[in-house]
Amino acid sequence: MKNTAIYPGSFDPITNGHIDIIERASRIFGGVVVAVLNNDEKKHLFPVAERLAFLRASLKHLPNTVIKTFDGLLVNFAEKCGTNLIIRGLRMVSDFDYEFQMTLTNRQLNPDLETVFLMTDAKYSFLSSSLVRQVASFRGKIGHLAPPAAAAALKKKFGGK
């Protein structure tokens, strides 16, 4: 795919905010590789196979999107994919410190890597995977926060509406 960009993350689980960013990216770039971090050190609620399944079920409407896993350094995965473009979503100013740190770390590792930030729709500016997990764990409503595949799995895990 020409002009391919990577959208990396833990996606534990994918939220409607992630989908909003992927839809925006798929309109801008020739292809989007949604790259799911498969890192044993991090404690995830869902194993990587389930996180991938939620992504597959939720991104069927975007034909120029492929879903992959990666471990180790993102810069190495980008090299393997043959691209130097990374996409990250920005919600609020509070995201900035973390994103700035990651971007500059990646740039030190590979000066050719460019991170492109896309702003999420205002209605998702508060939304994160951890918030969705927390609401679900207390059996709150999450149907408007996460796509059906992820919401159903959360409801199965915790019960609730």
Q: Work out the burial of residue 82: count CB atoms within 10 Å of its CB; fewer than 13 is exposed, 13-18 middle, 19 or more buried.
A: exposed
CA distance linking residue 21 with residue 13, whole number of Å: 15
Other beta carbons within 10 angstroms of residue 146's beta carbon come to 28
In one letter, which amino acid is 145? L
Q: Which residues bind ligand PNS (CB under 6 A)?
A: 8-10, 37, 73-74, 102, 105-106
- Among the listed residues 2, 42, 43, 144, the single catalytic one is 42
Tokens of 35: 């790259």
Active-site residue, 161 included: no
CA distance linking residue 90 with residue 24, whole number of Å: 12
In one letter, which amino acid is 161? K
Q: Identify which of residues 117 and 160 has a Cβ nearer to ligand PNS in the complex.
A: 117
Taking the complex as a whole, the smallest distance from the CB of residue 145 to ligand PNS amounts, in Å, to 16
Q: Identify which of residues 73 and 116 has a Cβ nearer to ligand PNS in the complex.
A: 73
Active-site residue, 18 included: yes
Residue carrying the six token digits 């999450």: 142
- Among the listed residues 18, 44, 51, 88, the single catalytic one is 18
Active-site residue, 10 included: no
- Among the listed residues 51, 88, 91, 133, the single catalytic one is 91
Q: Identify which of residues 73 and 139 has a Cβ nearer to ligand PNS in the complex.
A: 73
- Among the listed residues 10, 26, 58, 129, the single catalytic one is 129
Q: Look at residues 94, 113, 95, 93 and name the one whose alpha carbon lies nearest to residue 103.
A: 113
Is residue 147 within 8 Å of residue 57, measured between CB atoms? yes
Q: Identify which of residues 17 and 31 has a Cβ nearer to ligand PNS in the complex.
A: 17
Taking the complex as a whole, the smallest distance from the CB of residue 161 to ligand PNS amounts, in Å, to 26
Taking the complex as a whole, the smallest distance from the CB of residue 74 to ligand PNS amounts, in Å, to 4
Active-site residue, 129 included: yes
Would you name the residues annotated as active-site residues?
18, 42, 91, 129
